[in-house]
Amino acid sequence: DFKRLGFIGLGAMGKPMLVHLANKLPPESRIHVFDVVEDVMDELCRQFPNRVLKATSSKDVAQQADTIITMVPEGAHVRSVYLDPRNGICSTDISHKLLIDCSTIDTATSLAVKDHIVQNFPTASFYDSPVSGGVVGAIKGTIAFFLGCAESDPNLKRLTHLVSLMGKQIIPCGGPSLGLAAKLSNNYLSGIIAIACSEAMDMGMRSGLDPRVLAKVYAAGTAQNTICDRFNPVPHVYAEAPSSGGYKEGFKVQLMRKDFSLAVDMAKRVGSKNVLGEVGLDTYDGASKDPRCRDLDSRVVYRYLGGQED
């Protein structure tokens, strides 16, 4: 049923997500794409002739497509893509259209976009649906979608079908902006665990323990978790962890800094006490600016905190 699809934001995540759609949708489907970077559009149009079509703006995408996915970096970009009075999605009639924003942004911006759409186009549907699983997951088609809607939402079946082409799991989180709240809460937790794991490994290693033994102990003990296991911040504990490849592939420390800061803001706004927020923010902020860590996987906090490598 997705014959006229739109996709805006063809970066590290958006491009592989779009490639899955282009490969898996029925032959009659057309995907209208837009990104402020021309080259990436041209490349995809060459790769999928007569299937991926280049648009001239977000508004143009909205005029051509019935279902639109957006995947841009931050709240300001989402605002501009949807609300720009000249070129935004909402500057044309989007009645009856289905809009899915997969960007990780603050809940307030997402709710503001939703409110604007509800007020101006009551028959259109807008959902927040951030994803988890990273660039590798986007390429493999294994990302998870955290959807800002109730289990009873009338569009859930259509949304599930669409996102199943790009990922493995879809979790309806309850209502508007709750997909984002879930994602930010998840990244807060995973960011804190990476710091705690780095410190715990370091104190054990400095006491004479082999890091692989330590990881086995956590796995068998009460500290068992994915970060200490598949994403262990210490190189060569887990062969496929980003740390073992020089922290090159993974979730960039600047993105963790952004998500962590959004989570801390959210905690403040809802009156949730988070004593670890300040420590986490300082650490990821420092690591993002440190030339030894910048652009690397966020588990590079181990290096930032003075952990021993080699």
Quick one: which of 10, 94, 215, 253 contacts ligand NAD (CB under 6 A)?
10
One-letter identity of residue 243: S
**What pairs with residue 170 in β-bridges?**
145
CB 223 within 8 A of CB 203: no
81 is a site residue for ligand NAD (CB under 6 A): yes
Query: Which of 35, 60, 101, 202 touches ligand NAD by CB under 6 A?
Result: 35
Q: Which is nearer to ligand NAD, 192 or 256 (CB)?
A: 256
Which residue is catalytic, options 59, 114, 183, 252?
183
Query: If binding is defined by CB under 6 A, does position 103 make contact with ligand NAD?
Result: yes
| Residue 99: HSE in the Cβ half-sphere, 13 Å Cα cutoff | 33
Number of residues that bind ligand NAD (CB under 6 A): 25
Which tokens hold the place of 106?
A: 């603050």
Could you please report the per-residue DSSP string of 254-281? HHHHHHHHHHHHHHHHTT---TTHHHHH
CB 114 within 8 A of CB 89: no
Judged by CB, which is closer to ligand NAD: 97, or 214? Answer: 97
Rounded distance, CA 102 to CA 149, Å? Answer: 13
Residue 177 sits in the site that holds ligand NAD (CB under 6 A)? no
- Residue 147 as a binder of ligand NAD (CB under 6 A): the answer is no
Interface with ligand NAD includes 142 (CB under 6 A)?
no
Min separation Cβ 15 and ligand NAD, Å? 8
The answer to the question of residue 305 lying near ligand NAD (CB under 6 A) is no
Q: For this structure, is 183 an active site residue?
A: yes
Tokens describing residue 77: 């970009």
DSSP codes of every residue in 150-173: -TT-TTHHHHHHHHHTTEEEEEE-
Q: Any contact of residue 71 with ligand NAD (CB under 6 A)?
A: yes
Smallest distance, ligand NAD to C-beta of residue 206, A: 31
Contact 287, 293 (CB under 8 A): yes
Interface with ligand NAD (CB under 6 A):
8-14, 34-37, 58, 71-73, 77, 80-81, 103-104, 131, 134-135, 251, 255
Residues marked as catalytic: 183
